[in-house]
Structure 1
Amino acid sequence: MTSPPVPGAVSRTSPFVGRSSAVAAILDHLRVRAPESGPPRVDLVGGDAGMGKTRLLTEVGGAAEEAGWRVLAGHCLDFSASALPYLPFSEMVGRLADREPDLFEELTRTHPALTALAPGRRIRTPGFQRTEDLDRGEIFDGVHAGFETLAALQPLLLVVEDLHWADQSTRDLLSFLFVRAFGSPVAVVGSYRSDDLGRRHPLRPLLAEWVRLPGVERVDLSPLGAPDVRRLVRALHGGPVRERDVNRVVTLADGNPFYVEELVGAHDSGGTSTIPEDLLDLLLVRLDRLDDDARTVVRAASCSGWRVNHRLLTAVTGLGDAALDRAVRGALDAHVLVRDGDYYRFRHALLAEAVHDDLLPGEHQRLHAAYVKALEEGVVPSTAAELARHAQSAHDIPTAIRAGIEAGEEAMAVGGPDDAARHFEAVLDIVSRHDQPLPDDVDYAVLVARTADAITASGQPARAVRLVEEHLDRAPADLPDVERARLLMAWANCALSNEVFDESSTATAQALDLVGEEPSRLRARALSLHARWLSATDHDDEAVELAGEAMAMAQRFDLASVVAEATTTLARIDERSGDLDSALAALEEVAESAAADHDTVGEMRGRYHLAYVRLETGDLAGAAEQFRLTAEAAERAGRPWAPYGFDARFHWALTRYVRGDWDGALEVADVTGQTPPLHAESLLACVAMLVRAGRGDLDALSYAEPVKAAWSGEGMTAVLAGSATIDLHGLRRDLPAVWRTYDDVVGVLSEIWNPHFQASVMLAALVAGQVATEVARASTAERAGLLERVDDLQSEVDEVLRRTVSRPLGWGPEGQAWTARFRAEALRGRWLAGVRVPAEDELVAAWTETVAAFEAFGHPYEVARSQARLAAVLTATGRPGAREAAEAARETATRLGATPLVDELGVTARPAKPARHRGPASTELTVREREILGLVAQGRTNGEIGKQLFISTKTVSVHVSNILAKLGAGSRTEAAAVGRDRGLLG
Structure 2
Amino acid sequence: MTRTAIGPQMSEQQDTMSCVPALRTTDLIGRDAELEELSSQLGIRASEGVRTVRAMLVAGDAGVGKTRVLMALRDTALAADWQVVAGHCLDLADSSLPYLPFSEILGRVMADMPDVAARVLEQHPTLARLQPGRRIRSSETASGDQALDRGNVYDAFADLLTAVAVDAPLLVVVEDAHWADESTRDMLSFLFSRPLPGVALVVSYRADDLHRRHPLRRQVAEWMRLRGVDRLQLEPLADDDVRRLVRALRPGTLSEAEYVSIADRAEGNPFFVEELVGAARSGQVPGELADVLLVHLDRLDETTRRVVRIVSVAGRQVSHGLLAAVSDLDATALETALRSAVEAHVLVASRGGTYAFRHALLGEAVYDDLLPGERVRLHADFVSALGEGRAVGTAAELAQHARRADDRPVAIRASMEAGEEALAVGGPSEAATHFLDALELIDTSRTPVTDVDAQALVRRCAEALIAAGRVPKAVKVLRARLATLPADAPDADRGQLLTALASALLLTDTTESPSATAAEAVDLLRGSPPKLLARALFVHAESLGNWRADDARAVALEALDLAERNDLTSLAVELHTTLAGLDPTSGEDAGAGWRSAAERARRAGLIEPELRALYFLGRLHHDRGDLDVAGEVYREVISRSEVGGLAWSPYPAESRLLLAVALTHQGRLDEAVDLLDVTGQDPPMVYEWLFFAHQMLIMIGLRGDTHSKALERLREFWGTDGLTAITAGSAEVMRAAAVPDPAQALAAYDDVVASVVPLWHEWFQARLRLATLVVGTFASAAAHQSADERESARADVDRLMSDAGKVIDFYAPYDASRGPEYRMWVARRAAEHLRWRWLAQVDPPVADELVEAWRAAEESALTYGSVPEIAHARVRLAGVLRAVGDAAGARVAADLAREAAHALRAGPLLAELTAIGSAPAPTTASEVAALTPREGEILALVAEGRSNGEIGKQLFISTKTVSVHVSNVLAKLDAASRTEAAAIARRRGLI
Shorter chain as denominator, the TM-score bin is 0.7 to 0.9
Contact 2:702–2:734 (CA<8 Å) still a contact in 1? no
- The CA distance in 2 between the partners of 1:855 and 1:384, in whole Å, is 58
One-letter identity of the residue aligned with 1:509: A
What letter matches 2:537 in structure 1?
A: L
Task: Name the SS for the 1:698 alignment partner.
Answer: coil
Q: Write the distance in 1 (CA, Å) between the matches of 2:118 and 2:788.
A: 74
Q: CA deviation at 1:809?
A: 3.8
Who is 1:415 aligned against? 426
Whether the aligned pair in 1 keeps the contact of 2:325 and 2:391 (CA below 8 Å) is no
Structure 1 residues 106 and 9, CA gap change in structure 2 (3 angstroms)? farther
Q: How far 1:581 sits from its partner (Å)?
A: 2.7
Is 2:536 the partner of 1:543? no
Which amino acid in 1 is paired with 2:166? Answer: A
Structure 1 residues 34 and 883: CA distance shift in structure 2, 3 A: closer
Residues 184-241 of structure 1 deviation map (CA, whole Å, 9 limit, x = unaligned): 3211111101111222222111111111100111222222232332232233322222
Q: 5 Å matches for 1:385-784?
A: 385-434=396-445, 443-500=453-510, 502-517=512-527, 520-535=530-545, 538-574=547-583, 580-694=587-701, 696-731=703-738, 735-777=742-784
Structure 2 counterparts to residues 223-372 of structure 1, below 5 A: 223-267=236-280, 271-341=281-351, 342-372=353-383
The alpha carbon displacement at 1:11 in A equals 6.9
Contact 1:365–1:393 under 8 Å retained in 2: yes
Distance 2:450 2:242 in 1: 45
Q: CA deviation at 1:52?
A: 0.9
Equivalenced residues, count: 900
CA contact (8 A) 1:385 1:403 kept: yes
Q: CA deviation at 1:850?
A: 1.0
Q: 1:174 aligned to 2:188?
A: yes
Q: Which runs of 5+ in 2 are unaligned?
A: 1-5, 10-15, 923-991
Give the SS at the match of 1:119.
Answer: coil
Q: Give the Å deviation of 1:153.
A: 1.0
After superposition, the Cα gap between the structure-2 partners of 1:301 and 1:560, relative to the gap in structure 1 and judged at 3 Å, is same
Gap change, CA 1:645 and 1:2, over 3 Å in 2: closer
Corresponding residue for 2:395?
384
Q: 2:818 aligns with which of 811, 821, 840?
A: 811
RMSD (Å) for aligned C-alpha atoms? 3.0
CA spacing shift, 1:771–1:160, aligned 2, 3 Å: farther
Name the amino acid aligned to 2:644: A
Query: What does the per-residue CA deviation read over 1:634-661, in whole Å, with 9 as the maximum and x for residues that have no partner?
Result: 2221122212221211111122112222
SS at the partner of 1:822?
A: helix
1:57 aligns with 2:70: yes
Work out the CA distance in 2 between the residues paired with 1:898 and 1:35.
39
Residues 482-524 of structure 1: per-residue CA shift (max 9 Å, x gap): 3333222222222222255744445433433443457722222
Instruction: After superposing the two structures, state which structure 1 stretch, 616-625 or 402-411, moved more.
Output: 616-625
Q: Which is worse superposed, 737-746 or 311-320?
A: 737-746
Q: Decide whether the 8 Å contact of 2:43 with 2:52 is kept in 1.
A: no
Tell which deviates more after alignment, 812-821 or 256-265: 812-821
SS in 1 for 2:765: coil
Contact 2:875 2:913 in 1 (8 A): yes
Q: Counterparts of 1:855 and 1:223 in 2: how far apart (Å)?
A: 51
Q: Distance in 1 between matches of 2:891 and 2:47?
A: 59
Residue 954 of structure 1 corresponds to none
Is the 2:45–2:80 Cα contact (8 Å) retained in structure 1?
yes
Superposition deviation, residue 813 in structure 1: 2.1
Q: Match for 1:155 among 160, 163, 169?
A: 169
1:542 & 1:788 partners in 2: Cα distance? 42
1:534 deviation in Å? 2.9
The answer for the alignment partner of 1:24 in structure 2 is 36
Q: 1:856 to 1:317 in 2, by over 3 A?
A: same
Read off the aligned partner of 2:33 and give its amino acid letter.
Answer: S
In structure 2, distance between residues paired with 1:326 and 1:595: 55
Alpha-carbon contact 1:39-1:178 (below 8 Å) kept: no
Secondary structure in structure 2 of the residue aligned to 1:573: coil
CA displacement 1:671-690 (0-9 Å, x = unmatched): 01111111100111112112
Would you say the 8 A contact 1:11–1:58 is kept in 2? no
Superposition deviation, residue 156 in structure 1: 0.9
Q: 2:8 aligns with which of 3, 6, 24?
A: 3
Give the aligned residue type for 2:44: V
Deviation digits for residues 298-332 of structure 1, max 9, x if unmatched? 11101111222122112211112333233223322
Letter in 2 for 1:314: A
Tell me how far apart the structure 2 counterparts of residues 292 and 887 of structure 1 sit (CA, whole Å). Answer: 79
Aligned to 1:84: 97
Deviation at 1:350, TM superposition (A): 0.9
- Is the 1:39–1:181 Cα contact (8 Å) retained in structure 2? no
1:213 aligns with 2:229: no
Partners of 1:535 and 1:211 in 2: CA distance? 74
- How high is the TM-score relative to the length of structure 2? 0.85
User: Counterpart amino acid of 2:556?
Assistant: A
User: Which secondary structure state, in structure 1, belongs to the residue aligned with residue 349 of structure 2?
Assistant: strand
* Residues 489/911 of structure 1: CA separation in 2 closer, same or farther (3 Å cut): closer
Q: Which deviates more from structure 2 when the two are superposed, residues 693-702 or residues 762-771?
A: 693-702
Aligned equivalent of 1:933:
none
Q: 2:839 aligns with which of 826, 832, 837?
A: 832
Q: Given the two structures, how large is their TM-score scaled by the length of structure 1?
A: 0.86
Secondary structure at the aligned position of 2:172 is classed as strand
Q: In 1, Cα distance between the equivalents of 2:467 and 2:47?
A: 63
How many angstroms apart in 2 are the aligned matches of 1:121 and 1:19? 40
CA distance in 1, matches of 2:671, 2:399: 42
Quickly say closer, same or farther: Cα 1:708–1:377, change in 2 above 3 A: same
Q: Are 2:510 and 2:720, in contact at CA under 8 Å, matched by a contact in 1?
A: no
Please, which moves more after superposition, 197-206 or 859-868?
A: 197-206
Q: Secondary structure at the match of 1:192?
A: strand
CA separation of 1:540 and 1:912: change in aligned 2, threshold 3 A: closer
Distance 1:503 1:780 in 2: 48
Q: Secondary structure at the match of 1:152?
A: coil
Of 899, 912, 930, the match for 2:907: 899
Once residues 517 and 884 of structure 2 are traced to their aligned partners in structure 1, the CA distance between those partners, rounded to angstroms, is 63
Deviates more, 1:280-289 or 1:498-507: 498-507
Amino acid at match of 2:174: V
**Residues 661-706 of structure 1 deviation map (CA, whole Å, 9 limit, x = unaligned):** 2122112201011111111001111121122125535343332022
Q: Partner letter of residue 442 of structure 2? A: V
Deviation per CA, 1:859-902: give whole Å up to 9, x if none: 11110111012112212222142222122212222222223323
CA contact (8 A) 2:25 2:249 kept: no
Q: Which runs of 5+ in 1 are unaligned?
A: 914-986
Q: In structure 2, which of residues 59, 66, 88 is the aligned counterpart of residue 75 of structure 1? A: 88
Between 139-148 and 113-122, the greater mean CA deviation after superposition: 113-122
* Contact 1:464/1:494 (<8 A) preserved: yes
Alpha-carbon distance between aligned partners in 2 of 1:580 and 1:107, rounded to the nearest angstrom? 99
SS in structure 1 of the partner of residue 57 of structure 2: strand
The one-letter code sitting in structure 2 at the alignment partner of 1:357 is D
Structure 1 SS opposite 2:758:
helix
Q: Percent identity?
A: 44
